Amino acid sequence: MVRLFVAIDIPDNIKTYIQGMARAIPKARSVPPDQLHLTLKFIGEVESSLLLDIRDALGRINTPRFSLQLKGVGTFPPRGIPRVLWVGTKTMENKDHLFDLRKQIDKALFAAGITKEKKKFSPHITLARLNNSPIKALQNFLAGNALLESPWFEVTSFTLYSSQLTPKGAIHTVEERYRLR
């Protein structure tokens, strides 16, 4: 079995705007800088024999590149105990290429036997996982970073990752990178 997900990589110069941000929050486990990404689709555990079909299906996607900006911060779930601290995104074009890319990926993967996503797509970059972090520290962080904006950057590719869960955290491996048009 192999555990897979599809994501957009964040360029190193853009990561500098967000990496280490959660250090001030007690009981927050920051995502290592080399693992900061925007998940387009969590595929989950599949038979290794499906990997080739998945790679082929994703290779047929033909959507245009687009501009993205990191903007604002928030927590998941929206109600209840916050578990995930994230940075939001903004797209430049009227036609939302980010949502379209996500739709195309879902469609391509469905053809390869992967179930379609029922949950609404909430684009975000996970900054840290929270384990009962003090609410006051979170509120200060959210208020202090509400106006966060990175420079615009061009999304020119998306990536199929495999993820190996270890006691020390997940290890992400690039399976294939796909250029956008």
Q: Where on the chain is the footprint of ligand 3AM (CB under 6 A)?
A: 5, 39, 42, 44, 126, 163
Q: Residues 6 or more apart from 181 whose CB is under 8 A from it? A: 62, 63, 64, 65
Measured from the CB atom, the residue of 86 and 181 that comes closer to ligand 3AM is: 86
* Conformation bin of residue 113: beta by default, left when phi > 0, alpha when psi is -120 to 50: left
Tokens 């998945």 label which residue?
54
Tokens 């601290």 label which residue?
85
Measured from the CB atom, the residue of 5 and 178 that comes closer to ligand 3AM is: 5
Closest approach of ligand 3AM to the CB of residue 18, in Å? 13
Catalytic option among 37, 41, 97, 102: 37
User: Is 37 known to be catalytic?
Assistant: yes
Measured from the CB atom, the residue of 29 and 90 that comes closer to ligand 3AM is: 29
- In 3D space, the residue among 37, 41, 43, 100 whose CA is nearest the CA of residue 66 turns out to be 100
User: Is 172 known to be catalytic?
Assistant: no
Closest approach of ligand 3AM to the CB of residue 172, in Å? 8
